[in-house]
Amino acid sequence: MSLQTVSTSAFRSAVRQKDVVLVSFSTKWCPPCKVLRPILEELGNEKRNRLSVLQVDCDASPELAARYGIMSTPTVIVFHQGEPVNKLVGLRPKKAYEAALARYA
């Protein structure tokens, strides 16, 4: 599963597609973001029936980055029923993302 990049205009409906949505706020030039991508793709494949994994390019959608207080990339936010419920800043091991999702997915 490849991460779906979401634009500002499609963001609201995209985070409501499933009960649980993991959104990676990143940039194309960020080395830790490149390391994170396969981790999130793997999580998306493992839990595809329970969650969606999306990506926001902060350079292309600065208003979304500002709305969610993104000060550093990568930042991953877990959305539950369209609302942000957990935020992880910086590159973390896969287990950290699994723990952030455990309550919801």
Q: What is the pLDDT of residues 52-86, one digit of tens each?
A: 999 999 999 999 999 999 999 999 999 999 999 99
Confidence of residue 1 (pLDDT cuts 50, 70, 90): low
pLDDT mean over 3-26: 94
User: Residues with catalytic annotation?
Assistant: 30, 33
Residue 9: burial class (beta carbons within 10 Å; 0-12, 13-18, 19+): exposed
Is the separation of the CB atoms in 69 and 62 below 8 Å? no
> Can you give the pTM of this predicted structure?
0.94
DSSP classification of residue 74: S
Nearest to 39 by CA among 94, 103, 105, 100: 94
- Report how far Cα 28 is from the mean position of its chain's Cα atoms: 14
